[in-house]
Chain A
Amino acid sequence: MNIDSLLVMRQEISLLAIILLLLVAEIFMAKNKKHSIVHLAIFLFGVHTLVGFLPLTENSLFGGMFRTNGLIHFFKNVLNIGVLILLLQSADWLQEKIVSQNKGTEFFVLLFSSLLGMYFMISSGDFLMFYLGLELSTLPVAALAAYETANRKSSEAGIKLILSSALASGVSLFGISMLYATSGSIYFADVIELITATQLTSLGAILFFAGLAFKISLVPFHFWTADVYQGAPISIASYLSVISKGAAVFILMILLFTVLKPLIHVWENMIYVVAVATMFIGNLFALRQQNMKRFLAFSSIAQAGFILLGLIAGTQLGMATVVYFVLIYVFSNLAAFGVVQAISLQTGKEHIKDYEGLYRTNPNLSLVMMLALFSLAGIPPVAGFFGKFFLFTAAASEGYYFLVFLAVVNVTISLYYYLLVVRAMFLRKSDTPIPFFKNKIYMRIGLIITVIGILILGLYSPLYDHIYELSGNFNR
């Protein structure tokens, strides 16, 4: 063990350093200067994100418990960018609501701890590390969901989240124990060699899948989603729907494509059914939602259903496409949540009806929202279209034409409810529209980054080639 090998963990170490630094800063900061903790945290995390883009060689540590390679490193950067945008978008909310209650530092410490957990989860080389990462990523978020202590809905969200994720972790752990029982090892590298398609391993795989399905909010494990999103602070709802979901999808994909590959005939059918159910239920429930947060909750359930189309392929193409789609989804969904947050912070309004006539008073915000929704709906030339098209291509490449057909039916359904929001903003006129307001600088930067992402990511094809190349790491 030397310094060089520790550099393999430099993302984790740097994030841990930020957490400790913030704790120390909290102690030495004068009482009337507490608000500067937000600037400090955003600055430090910005530097951390930039440093993350330095290249990293493939390696593993602690006898294979911790591993990293190009794709994992890339995905950590995706998570970093997502969290950075999220921090920028919620800076004003933190300044106004949280720092004034003297809870600013804890917010960052909890959020970054959860992110640290995700790092460990997606870098894990055995089931133990995976489980530790999973727990570390979930528990702080439950505290964050209940962060607006004065709000009863927020507390409800926190308790709902922690109960359901505790159950999910338990189910997952039970599944892991069965896999361990049949293969005799918890190291992924060994399990790949030893696993055979017996009934016990199949059951183990299914239970393990169920646990992660909670985190991705796949049907039938989606019941917590809408309530938690609605109750939790908006920045936490977007964290759950983007970062947390993205990381869970990634590790699920890695495990399905490598460790559980011998059981492909088991999980293929399972994913088929779950994908269809998730798409239809997510979309159909989204149709009638009036609250923007619940609306985005069901929309993100439906998006998870689309992601499964990439998983079912089980190929390098599918893997690259899922990573690509998640990257685009990070930008699109954060743009939508960002607008909701900006409006909610200024006016406290969260209903679709409140958005009527928004274009005439706040044209820029409406345009950002429209781009985000078009990207989520998959309309060219914005990025979401490319992500979705490639997901469908990945599924069709394995001959799942009927599944693709069901998916495009869902795309059409989803277009309807995305257009409902566009209709409210652009087509309707209101007697009491949301008055014009100017966003503060952090929020503006946060939204501009997402818009650039939505416009560029799809058209810039070398990015996809890069991801495809990286995903070769797992497909040798």
Chain B
Amino acid sequence: MDILSLFITVPVLTILALVFTKGLRQARIVSMIGSLIQLAMTINLVFAYFKERDINQDIMVFTKDVVWFEQFNIHYAIGVDGISVALLLLTAIVVLAGVFISWKMSDLPKEFFISLIVLSIGVYGFFISLDLFTMFVFFEIAVIPMYLLIGIWGTGPREYAAMKLTLMLMGASAILLVAILGIYFNSNTDGGPLTFNILEIAKVNIPFEVQKLFFPLTFIGFAVIGALFPFHTWSPDGHASAPTAVSMLHAGVLMKLGGYGVFRVAMYLLPEGAQYWSWFFIILAAIGVIYGAFSAIKQTDLKYINAYSSVSHLGLVLFALLMLNKTAWNGAILQSLSHGFMTALFFALIGMIYERTHTRDVRKLGGLLKVIPFISAIYVIAGLASLGLPGFSGFVAEMNIFVGAFEHDDMFYRIVTIVSVSAIVVTAVYILRVVGIMLMGPVKNKAFLSLEKVTWYEQLGILLLLIPIVGMGVAPLWISDMILASLHPFIHGVP
């Protein structure tokens, strides 16, 4: 078994083991062990990748290729570059933290952890796929468990939120299917066989007319899950209704599939289409950045605040990707990682606060720093990271994005960049406002005085997420180096 296929095999085995467990205690232990192995494998992969890169100059390393459906030239083709390794690391950490945060999941625990791990299979598979068909399969595997996860274990209008989320994401993937078929049937333009393999298609000069037609479909197909304005509406409802670990996984990892897919498929395979359409989608992304930030100010529910903040931050990812230069791309990937850790941390903290105070309404909370200092202090740190304070991951990412965006010297790019930068100020407003109302000041409710202290598994979950945020902020070079080296092949179609 090669090093990458294990990323699918281990979760599958975990699920098989989970089927035979009884009760919460066994289920959570098995899931924890499974996720721990997965994290260990990912860390091992990071080191193996650095070693392999010195001796192997290929675009993708650790590749494996097995014919699956011969008639359609569908392969099970896998491989990684620096970008996917970084995102795999993000996934493994967030999944493990999610298991810790769900330590007390009492309703149907076995089913909960199985669904959670099925979701993670989809995500792992998506990041290692080199074949459009396999990638699409994993994409849908990642989406469909969300329906059950939100529908069964969610709160509030969970049925509505689950259905809206599933239909919007599956609808997007349906559009994506048309686009994939379009790319597939034009992959023989240079006389080769029809293929789904991304690396092969990248070598083909797909006609401009085709690229113009299919780029928007591919882009929208992926970007809906990356919360592109105006297709973001599933995200706030979905996050608000989802249980804590699911919000974490969803905002932290699943939404990253959007940016990754846009980059790996839409922009890599259809570069001329990307250039033709970039102005249009830049405007949408910039609207998302601003709109998300302003909406977050208006919200009073902690989860909604964070969900709109995600729309804003991920809008920035798409914005940076469309800038079509290396600096901005580097920023976009860093922003994906940074936002993944940060949002997961936020949702974990919100879950803990909600569990203790039974409300997520900012107006009803107050003085939490006095009663649950650990959680509150981490919330402040996460907030500062989110608004881009130097020393945390957010700063490194946003710095790269805006420097990259400013490399374009015409009026249009300057204006959209300046408009988007202003969102950072708005971010500071909604973060500090929440910190001020919720954490500082007098304790508003007598019942808050006897809140339960933070438990060991909650601390573990928090630390897992906090370490990379600080790590990326203090020493960004090693990860940025890993990403930058992998950006090279993408530039081929862009002048």
Please tell me if the beta carbons of B140 and A404 are within 8 angstroms of each other in the complex.
no
Q: How far is the CB of B116 from chain A (nearest CB, A)?
A: 15
Query: In the bound complex, what is the Cα–Cα distance between A404 and B163 (angstroms)?
Result: 24
**CB interface residues, A 174-198, toward B, < 8 Å:** none
Please tell me if the beta carbons of A393 and B144 are within 8 angstroms of each other in the complex.
no
Encode B62-88 as 1/0 by CB contact (under 8 A) with A. Answer: 000000111110100000000000000
Encode A364-401 as 1/0 by CB contact (under 8 A) with B. Answer: 00000000001000011100010001101100110001
Query: In the bound complex, what is the Cα–Cα distance between A401 and B70 (angstroms)?
Result: 23
Query: In the bound complex, what is the Cα–Cα distance between A396 and B177 (angstroms)?
Result: 11
B166 sits at the interface (CB 8 A): yes
Smallest CB-CB separation from A409: which chain B residue? B174
Enumerate chain A residues within 8 angstroms of B174, measured Cβ to Cβ. 408-409, 411-412
Please tell me if the beta carbons of A397 and B151 are within 8 angstroms of each other in the complex.
no
Enumerate chain B residues within 8 angstroms of A381, measured Cβ to Cβ. 137, 141
Given contacts A416-B163, A461-B69, A389 and B147 within 8 Å (CB-CB): no
Please tell me if the beta carbons of A427 and B185 are within 8 angstroms of each other in the complex.
no
Smallest CB-CB separation from A420: which chain B residue? B163
Query: In the bound complex, what is the Cα–Cα distance between A390 and B137 (angstroms)?
Result: 13
List 11 contacting pairs A-B, 8 Å CB cutoff, sorted by A: A320-B71, A380-B140, A390-B72, A401-B178, A404-B181, A405-B175, A411-B170, A412-B174, A416-B167, A419-B163, A419-B166
Query: In the bound complex, what is the Cα–Cα distance between A415 and B182 (angstroms)?
Result: 23
3 closest A-B pairs by CB: A408-B174, A427-B151, A396-B181
Given contacts A393-B72, A396-B185, A416-B163, A380 and B177 within 8 Å (CB-CB): no
Q: How far is the CB of A71 from chain B (nearest CB, A)?
A: 15
Please tell me if the beta carbons of A427 and B152 are within 8 angstroms of each other in the complex.
yes
A127 sits at the interface (CB 8 A): no
Query: In the bound complex, what is the Cα–Cα distance between A459 and B159 (angstroms)?
Result: 31
Smallest CB-CB separation from B181: which chain A residue? A396
Q: How far is the CB of B220 from chain A (nearest CB, A)?
A: 13
| CB < 8 Å neighbour of A423 from B74, B140, B159, B178 | B159
Q: How far is the CB of B69 from chain A (nearest CB, A)?
A: 5
Query: In the bound complex, what is the Cα–Cα distance between A389 and B151 (angstroms)?
Result: 27
Please tell me if the beta carbons of B144 and A401 are within 8 angstroms of each other in the complex.
no
Smallest CB-CB separation from B171: which chain A residue? A412
Please tell me if the beta carbons of A415 and B170 are within 8 angstroms of each other in the complex.
yes
Enumerate chain A residues within 8 angstroms of B71, measured Cβ to Cβ. 317, 320, 464-465, 468
Given contacts A412-B167, A412-B174, A468-B71, A423 and B181 within 8 Å (CB-CB): no
Q: How many A-B residue pairs have CB under 8 A?
A: 79
Enumerate chain B residues within 8 angstroms of A229, measured Cβ to Cβ. none
Query: In the bound complex, what is the Cα–Cα distance between A374 and B144 (angstroms)?
Result: 10
Enumerate chain B residues within 8 angstroms of A335, measured Cβ to Cβ. none
A108 sits at the interface (CB 8 A): no
A426 sits at the interface (CB 8 A): yes
Query: In the bound complex, what is the Cα–Cα distance between A426 and B152 (angstroms)?
Result: 7
A422 sits at the interface (CB 8 A): yes
Query: In the bound complex, what is the Cα–Cα distance between A374 and B171 (angstroms)?
Result: 15
Please tell me if the beta carbons of B69 and A415 are within 8 angstroms of each other in the complex.
no
Enumerate chain A residues within 8 angstroms of B69, measured Cβ to Cβ. 461, 464-465
Please tell me if the beta carbons of B166 and A427 are within 8 angstroms of each other in the complex.
no
Enumerate chain A residues within 8 angstroms of B185, measured Cβ to Cβ. 396-397
Please tell me if the beta carbons of A423 and B72 are within 8 angstroms of each other in the complex.
no
| CB < 8 Å neighbour of A408 from B74, B151, B162, B178 | B178
* Chain A interface main SS type: helix
Enumerate chain B residues within 8 angstroms of A408, measured Cβ to Cβ. 174-175, 177-178
Smallest CB-CB separation from B182: which chain A residue? A401
* Chain B interface main SS type: helix
Smallest CB-CB separation from B144: which chain A residue? A379
Smallest CB-CB separation from A459: which chain B residue? B68
Enumerate chain B residues within 8 angstroms of A419, measured Cβ to Cβ. 147, 163, 166
Q: How far is the CB of A144 from chain B (nearest CB, A)?
A: 37
**A380-B140, A411-B170, A415-B166 given; 15 more Cβ-contact pairs under 8 Å:** A389-B133, A392-B178, A392-B181, A396-B184, A396-B185, A404-B181, A405-B175, A405-B178, A408-B177, A412-B167, A412-B170, A416-B167, A422-B148, A464-B71, A465-B70
Q: How far is the CB of A221 from chain B (nearest CB, A)?
A: 28
Please tell me if the beta carbons of B177 and A427 are within 8 angstroms of each other in the complex.
no
Query: In the bound complex, what is the Cα–Cα distance between A379 and B151 (angstroms)?
Result: 18
Enumerate chain B residues within 8 angstroms of A426, measured Cβ to Cβ. 148, 151-152
Q: How far is the CB of A48 from chain B (nearest CB, A)?
A: 31
**CB interface residues, B 291-330, toward A, < 8 Å:** none
**CB interface residues, A 418-476, toward B, < 8 Å:** 419, 422-423, 426-427, 461, 464-465, 468
| CB < 8 Å neighbour of A427 from B141, B144, B159 | B159
Enumerate chain B residues within 8 angstroms of A423, measured Cβ to Cβ. 151, 159, 163
Query: In the bound complex, what is the Cα–Cα distance between A6 and B178 (angstroms)?
Result: 48
Smallest CB-CB separation from B138: which chain A residue? A380
Q: How far is the CB of B256 from chain A (nearest CB, A)?
A: 20
Q: How far is the CB of B288 from chain A (nearest CB, A)?
A: 23
Query: In the bound complex, what is the Cα–Cα distance between A389 and B166 (angstroms)?
Result: 19
Q: How far is the CB of B122 from chain A (nearest CB, A)?
A: 9
Query: In the bound complex, what is the Cα–Cα distance between A330 and B363 (angstroms)?
Result: 56
B239 sits at the interface (CB 8 A): no
Enumerate chain A residues within 8 angstroms of B166, measured Cβ to Cβ. 415, 419
Enumerate chain B residues within 8 angstroms of A379, measured Cβ to Cβ. 140, 144
Smallest CB-CB separation from B174: which chain A residue? A408
Query: In the bound complex, what is the Cα–Cα distance between A393 and B194 (angstroms)?
Result: 12
**CB interface residues, B 151-204, toward A, < 8 Å:** 151-152, 158-159, 162-163, 166-167, 170-171, 174-175, 177-178, 181-182, 184-185
Smallest CB-CB separation from B148: which chain A residue? A426
Query: In the bound complex, what is the Cα–Cα distance between A194 and B293 (angstroms)?
Result: 71
Enumerate chain A residues within 8 angstroms of B151, measured Cβ to Cβ. 423, 426-427
Query: In the bound complex, what is the Cα–Cα distance between A301 and B97 (angstroms)?
Result: 46
Enumerate chain B residues within 8 angstroms of A464, measured Cβ to Cβ. 69, 71
Enumerate chain A residues within 8 angstroms of B147, measured Cβ to Cβ. 419, 422
Enumerate chain A residues within 8 angstroms of B177, measured Cβ to Cβ. 389, 392, 404, 408
Query: In the bound complex, what is the Cα–Cα distance between A379 and B137 (angstroms)?
Result: 8
Smallest CB-CB separation from A397: which chain B residue? B185
Enumerate chain A residues within 8 angstroms of B163, measured Cβ to Cβ. 416, 419, 423
Enumerate chain A residues within 8 angstroms of B167, measured Cβ to Cβ. 412, 415-416
Enumerate chain B residues within 8 angstroms of A393, measured Cβ to Cβ. 72, 181, 184
Please tell me if the beta carbons of A461 and B141 are within 8 angstroms of each other in the complex.
no
Given contacts A396-B182, A427-B151, A461 and B68 within 8 Å (CB-CB): yes
